[in-house]
Amino acid sequence: MAKHLDLEEQEQLDELKHFWKQYGDLITWGLIAVFGIFAAWNGYQYWQRSQAAQASVMYDEIERAVQSGDQARIDRSLADMKDRFGRTTYAQQAGLLAARAYYDKGNLDASRAALTGVAEKASDEGYQAIARLRLAGLLLEKKAYDEALQQLSASFPKDFAALAADRRGDILAAQGKKTEARVEYEKAYKGLDERAEYRRLVEVKLNALGVDPTAGSTKLTTTAANTEVKK
C-alpha cells in the first residue's frame, strides 16, 4: 500500500515538474507583470496624493496673494502653479480665482489670459464651462462680440447649458439682434429650474423684449389692446 502511494506521489511530482518546465517561465513573468502593475499603481496613487498636497499648499499661497492685492505676487504664484501642478484641480481653481482678482483690479488682459488657460486646459468640464462663461462675459464688456460667441459655441455640460444660452442672449441683444436674443433667452428660461432666482432675471430680460414667458410668450405690448377688444 505504501509503495502504491509512493508511486502515485512520484507520478504527481513528475507531472508537476513537467508542467512547471513547460509553463514555469510564463507563470513567473505573469506574476512579475502583476506585481509590477500593482507596485506602479500604488506608486501612482502616492504621487497623486503628493501632488495634490503640494498643489493645495500653493493654492493657499495664491489665496493669500489675492487677499493682499499684490498682482506681481499673484503672477508669480499662478505661473508657479501652472508649471508644477498644471493638471490638478487646484490649478484650475487658482486660475479662476486669479482671473477674478485681475478683473476686480481692472486688469482685463490678465483676467482674460487666466480664464483662457482654464477654458483650454482644464480637465474638469465644470471648471472649463465656468471659465468659458466668464470669458464670454469679459469679451462682451470689451464689445468683442464674435469672440464672445465663439467661446459659447463649444459643448457645455447639461447643468451649464441654460447659462450659456442666457449669455448668448446677452451678446445678441448687445448686437441689436433682438429676435435671436429672444430665442436664446427662452432656451435659458426653459432650462433653468423654476425655483432658481436666476430664472427671474431671464424673465426680466424677456419682458424687456416684449415677451411674457409665464403666459406662453404672449407679447406684453398687445395685452392691454386685446383686453379692450374683448370688452
Of 72, 126, 80, the C-alpha closest to 102 is 72
Residues 136 and 161 in one domain: no
Asked if residue 188 and residue 108 are part of one domain, the reply reads: no
Per-residue pLDDT reduced to its tens digit, 26-60 = 666 665 555 455 444 444 454 456 566 777 888 88
The model carries a pTM of: 0.70
Count of structural domains within the chain: 2
Residue pLDDT, tens place only, 196-224: 899 999 999 999 999 998 875 444 444 44
Domain span holding position 92 = 53-142
Whether residues 137 and 72 share a domain: the answer is yes
Regarding whether 124 and 76 lie in a shared domain, the answer is: yes
Q: Which of 142, 172, 201 is the last residue of a domain?
A: 142
